[in-house]
Amino acid sequence: MPSNLPVSIRLPWNAPRIAVLEIAGTIGMQVRGAETVRTIKALAEDARIRAVVVEIDSPGGSAPVSDAIHRSLRRLAARKPTVAFVMSGALSGGYLIACGASKIIALPTSLIGSIGVIFMRPVVQELMAKVGVKMVMTHEGRLKGMFQPWREPTPEEEEKVKALTSEYYEWFVNAVAAARGLSPEVVKTYATGEMFPATRAKEMGLIDELGDFEAALDTASELGRTPRRLQYVRPRRPLLERLMARGSMSIAQALLSEAEDRLHPRIEFR
């Protein structure tokens, strides 16, 4: 048996292929930022991957996580054809992520858009009064305690939050405009938080084509000049987190952690 294989012979595990990455659920919760970004970076560096299809089904979620995934997809799309396929919906942060791809293909019945920003800050002041609990805070810095859930915001704090939300909104609009080749003024007319059927979104320039998953694969195959040999990939959680989920973290601990997260103020593309 010869020691060196001819250049023309390609081993099956080294053959070119199309990667399929699923991004489904609320961004920041079901769709974890760090793991997803690492997975996208690995796809960019894998020489066997010639094109990528990203299946998106998301109502949006965390603004920073949406931004991080959007940026990583943009970098991937600069190196390899990347097609976003929308089955049910790409809304708000989910749509921002889709904008990182080379092309967006959606089922005619899917929902697209919902471009806008939400700032959420739970206030439990009345609840605490009912159960007889009072929170005492000591802080330095005039606005250091502005996001605490134990009291209502002051008029000055509300103005600060409005300015912050407006800044995120302008960034979102400009990101969509740059990705879709539209003017910011046009995108602002779409950025009312409204969701559009994909048929309308195509007319507006928010997506490229109407089609199913097979159409997305055909486009990726054509752009990547590679046969439809598929490799399904998914982000992996860190080993420690997986071990905790299997054993030591109780349901009560998980619920407590979730409740604590929800008490934090957050800004979302949702």
For Cα atoms 114, 116, 118, give the angle at the middle one, nearest 5 degrees.
115
35 in Cβ contact with 235 (< 8 Å): yes
**What's 14's DSSP letter?**
G
Instruction: Note whether 149 and 120 are within 8 A (CB).
Output: no
Which pairing describes strands 61-62 and 230-233: parallel, antiparallel, or unpaired? Answer: unpaired
Catalytic residues: 92, 144
Q: Determine the residue type at 22.
A: E
Q: Is residue 39 within 8 Å of 231, Cβ to Cβ?
A: no
Q: Which of 96, 94, 74, 110 is nearest to 201 (CA)?
A: 110
* 105 in Cβ contact with 82 (< 8 Å): no
Nearest-5° angle of CA 58, CA 208, CA 101?
55
29's tokens: 């919760």
List Cα–Cα distances, 81 to 12, 154, 175, 201, in angstroms.
22, 49, 20, 22
Residues 6 or more apart whose Cβ sits within 8 Å of residue 222: none
Nearest Cα neighbor of 210 from 180, 219, 181 is 219
Rounded Cα–Cα distance for residues 25 and 245 (Å): 19
Query: Is residue 112 a contact partner of residue 207, using CB atoms and an 8 Å limit?
Result: yes
